[in-house]
Amino acid sequence: MIRPSGRAADELRQIRITRNYTKHAEGSVLVEFGETKVICTASVESGVPRFLKGQGQGWLTAEYGMLPRATGSRNQREASRGKQGGRTLEIQRLIGRSLRAALDMGKLGENTIYIDCDVIQADGGTRTASITGAMVALLDALKLLKKRGALKGEPLKQMVAAVSVGIFQGVPVLDLDYPEDSAAETDLNVVMTSAGGFIEIQGTAEGAPFQPEELTAMLELARQGLQQLFELQQAALQDAV
């Protein structure tokens, strides 16, 4: 089996994490997983949603979007359709849950962090790139809150990152791009902490069902890929910007 990109089965695409990509947000990252490019911003507002008022804790919520021509053929703009599609809602709920798992809300103070992940170019794996990049934007926003003295302790519990794995032409592969994704028999998104615990796993058989041993192989690939992603996050965070 040769991957369309020529990558080894356990090889990530070229990953780039560019901080301070836009200037207004408290955290702003351009994350690139190969040709997949997502702008991830973390915006801070003081106050929390009504259901949390007066509990002395913070909140994080996420939204996801795609520019209409981020993809090979143009998609109708969700703002003009008048609603977000099911895929969009599913992804933004996943991003929100994943990043909330990184935080101790009690330490965040009564602040809300809005994560916005906007795909400007799609080539597979937009949700996993979003989580991985937004984690870095989130840390930049936390730094700012720390400087302002708006926190009640260290809210960061653990780093979180995500990667996709799948079965392509019968072989488990890491970090699927679009040509693989659209032909894969199985697609599995894995969100992990840097300590190796699972936050989310979402696996779907696109064609034939997948077997327990395939699941095991895919999870191992994901674990290896995620270790590299955690290192890339750290490297990005050490850049002077």
User: What is the closest distance, in whole angstroms, from the C-beta atom of residue 42 to a copy of itself in the complex?
Assistant: 9
User: What is the closest distance, in whole angstroms, from the C-beta atom of residue 116 to a copy of itself in the complex?
Assistant: 5
> Residue 147 interacts with a copy of itself (CB under 8 A)?
no
Rounded Cα gap, residues 68 and 15, in angstroms: 23
Q: Of 60, 165, 192, 226, which lies in the binding site for a copy of itself, with binding defined by CB under 8 A?
A: 192
Distances (CA, A) of 116 to 1, 10, 63, 168: 37, 29, 5, 31
> Has 126 been labeled as part of a binding site?
yes
Residue number, 8 or 51, with CB nearest to a copy of itself: 51
What torsion do the CA atoms of 139, 145, 149, 155 make, to the nearest 10 degrees? -50
120: amino acid identity, one letter: I
What are φ and ψ of residue 46, in 5° steps?
-80, 150
Q: Of 9, 52, 120, 183, which lies in the binding site for a copy of itself, with binding defined by CB under 8 A?
A: 120
Sign of CA pseudo-dihedral 48, 50, 56, 62: negative
Residue number, 47 or 235, with CB nearest to a copy of itself: 47
Asked if 59 and 104 count as a contact pair (C-beta separation under 8 A), the reply is: no
> Has 125 been labeled as part of a binding site?
yes
Residue recorded with tokens 């041993």: 213
Site string for a copy of itself, 41-80 (x = CB under 8 A): x-x-x-----------------x-x-xxxxxxxx--xxxx
> Residue 90 interacts with a copy of itself (CB under 8 A)?
yes
Rounded Cα gap, residues 112 and 68, in angstroms: 28
Residue 1: other Cβ atoms inside 10 A: 8
Residue number, 84 or 227, with CB nearest to a copy of itself: 84
> Has 87 been labeled as part of a binding site?
yes
Residue number, 12 or 25, with CB nearest to a copy of itself: 25
Q: Which stretch binds a copy of itself (CB under 8 A): 4-12, 103-111, 120-128, 142-150?
A: 120-128
| DSSP SS3 for 155 | coil
Asked if 176 and 162 count as a contact pair (C-beta separation under 8 A), the reply is: no
What are φ and ψ of residue 10, in 5° steps?
-105, 25
> Residue 25 interacts with a copy of itself (CB under 8 A)?
yes
Q: Of 50, 51, 54, 195, which lies in the binding site for a copy of itself, with binding defined by CB under 8 A?
A: 195
Interacting residue ranges for a copy of itself, rule: CB under 8 A: 22-25, 28, 35, 37, 39, 41, 43, 45, 63, 65, 67-74, 77-90, 92-93, 97, 101, 114, 116, 118, 120-122, 158, 192-193, 195-205, 208-212, 215, 219
Binding site per annotation, positions for phosphate: 87, 125-127
